[in-house]
Amino acid sequence: MSIRIGILGYGNLGRGVECAIKQNPDMELAAVFTRRAPESVRIQTQGVPVCRIEDAVQMQDKIDVMILCGGSATDLPVQTPEFVQYFNVIDSFDTHAKIPEHFTAVDEAAKKSGKVGIISCGWDPGMFSLNRLYANAVLPQGKDYTFWGKGVSQGHSDAIRRIEGVADARQYTIPVDEALASVRAGENPELTTRQKHTRECFVVAQEGADKARIEEEIKTMPNYFDEYDTTVHFISEEEMKRDHSGIPHGGFVIRSGKTGWNEEFGNVIEYSLKLDSNPAFTSSILVAFARAAYRLAEEGQSGCRTVFDIAPAYLSAKSGEELRRTML
């Protein structure tokens, strides 16, 4: 029997989950839930209903795991604790500073309902976090580095779009090669914000807009750009569509640490991602952890979990025996 998945929220992430389910033969899409008028939403999977979010609760017996595809700012802090009352749920909550309180809220609700809620299952938090944990456990004496990019930062792109005279914008976060090289060489550098990443912006200006002022406003924007070396390129709407319609991303998690009686041996552990589509990859992670949620629930477990709490074998469709034979 397949694991029946519900998708709650049908944006980039929800569409990605739909694609990822198609790649996993032990899973099937049971329904998509949307805030919009269901009849206005076209999905790709044949014969699967699109429903109103309000109707989800009545479909508890049709869904094994609900994947929550809303945003971390306002959707998930409300939705995850709410829907774990009725479903096993997964989210990709990514506001690092608020994870502890999100965990507590989901854990309380999940323990009451007897369901499983797995939070923060993306790549950062998520796969990057796993790599930080494993590397720290194995190399207790060392230093951690995380670099993001090259990739599109949605938040920074939005910030540029709010500037007067800007019609459209896309911002790429780019790791600084020299910094990466120094970390990889085991030099354990102390790096400032500016030394780790640069920011490259592609901007479509409105007709007659003052480009010099726009560039200045971008480069001096507090928090977003003022601590970085930023370059700004003005391009046409056509160029934006042609060259910048994707949502690529990626990054690096590196731990450089010492072993040996006198810490005489250097070691560098590096994990990296290079993704053509950030939301499609995040969705694939959500689906793998949905399998884990299903299995934990089948075992009678309940409460909130993170990627740290889940044995890797739970993510795979293969049996323990097959995993040992083929992947160990």
Q: Is 23 in the site for its own copies (CB under 8 A)?
A: yes
Pairwise CA distance, residues 188 & 191, whole Å: 9
251 is in an annotated binding site: no
| Minimum CB–partner distance for residue 95 and its own copies (Å) | 11
Q: Is 95 in the site for its own copies (CB under 8 A)?
A: no
| Minimum CB–partner distance for residue 60 and its own copies (Å) | 27
Q: Is 307 in the site for its own copies (CB under 8 A)?
A: yes
| Minimum CB–partner distance for residue 200 and its own copies (Å) | 21
Q: Which of residues 129-158 bind its own copies (CB under 8 A)?
A: 129-134, 136-141
Q: How far apart are the first and last CA of the chain?
A: 27
Q: What are phi and psi of 283, to 5 degrees?
A: -60, -40
What is the H or E stretch that residue 298 is in?
helix 278-298
Q: Is the peptide bond before 150 cis (omega within 30 degrees of 0)?
A: yes
Structure tokens at 247: 């949502």
Q: Is 268 in the site for its own copies (CB under 8 A)?
A: yes
69 is in an annotated binding site: yes
Q: Is 182 in the site for its own copies (CB under 8 A)?
A: no
| Minimum CB–partner distance for residue 287 and its own copies (Å) | 8
Q: Is 11 in the site for its own copies (CB under 8 A)?
A: no
88 is in an annotated binding site: no
34 is in an annotated binding site: yes
Q: Is 306 in the site for its own copies (CB under 8 A)?
A: yes
Residue-level length of the chain:
328
Q: Which residue reads 């977003």 in tokens?
A: 224
Q: Is 277 in the site for its own copies (CB under 8 A)?
A: yes
Contact 201, 195 (CB under 8 A): no
| Minimum CB–partner distance for residue 102 and its own copies (Å) | 9
Pairwise CA distance, residues 216 & 160, whole Å: 11
Q: Is 243 in the site for its own copies (CB under 8 A)?
A: no
Q: Is 103 in the site for its own copies (CB under 8 A)?
A: yes
199 is in an annotated binding site: yes
Among 187, 265, 298, 299, binds its own copies (CB under 8 A): 265
Pairwise CA distance, residues 310 & 315, whole Å: 8
Q: What are residue 151's DSSP bridge partners?
A: 173
The CA-atom distances, in angstroms, between 153 and each of 157, 174, 191 are 6, 10, 21
Task: Pick out the residues of the known binding site for substrate.
Answer: 148, 173, 199, 249, 278
